[in-house]
Amino acid sequence: MKQYEALVIFPITVTGLDSKNTFEELVKKIEGKILNRTEMGRRFLGYAVKKSKEGYIAAFDFELSPEKMDPLRRSLDLSEDILKYTIVVKEKSKAAVKLGASAEKR
């Protein structure tokens, strides 16, 4: 399982609990696990996305096996409750990598 971070823009009509449920249900449906979520609230967008100039933004940290990423992306693309999203792989911090390397030397 890898850790990912997603930034998701929802339409203004979808707020708070609805947004969390939409994304979380898609991740859980594909056997992933939500680790953390941060709601950034209602924001004006720099440009219109699917004819919307405002969006509700939330960030999610989640775990998912890499082979299940394509089905998740397809589900997100087809969802009408999501205007736009980006997903990145969370890299381990340098401190964690150093701790792991020093433990292996012992």
Per the structure, the complete domain to which residue 43 belongs is given by: 2-105
Domain holding 66: CATH number? 3.30.70.60
The pair of structure tokens assigned to 30 is 């594909």
Total number of domains in the chain: 1
Mean pLDDT of 48-76: 93
Digit-coded pLDDT (tens) for 4-38:
999 999 998 765 556 567 888 999 999 999 999 99
Q: Cβ distance 6 to 86 under 8 Å?
A: yes
* Among candidate residues 78, 90, 74, 83, the one with its CA nearest the CA of residue 56: 83
Q: Round to whole Å and give the CA distance between 88 and 103.
A: 28
Residue 84 has pLDDT above 90, yes or no: yes
- Report pLDDT for 22: 84
Q: Cβ distance 65 to 77 under 8 Å?
A: no
- Report pLDDT for 91: 84
- Report pLDDT for 1: 87
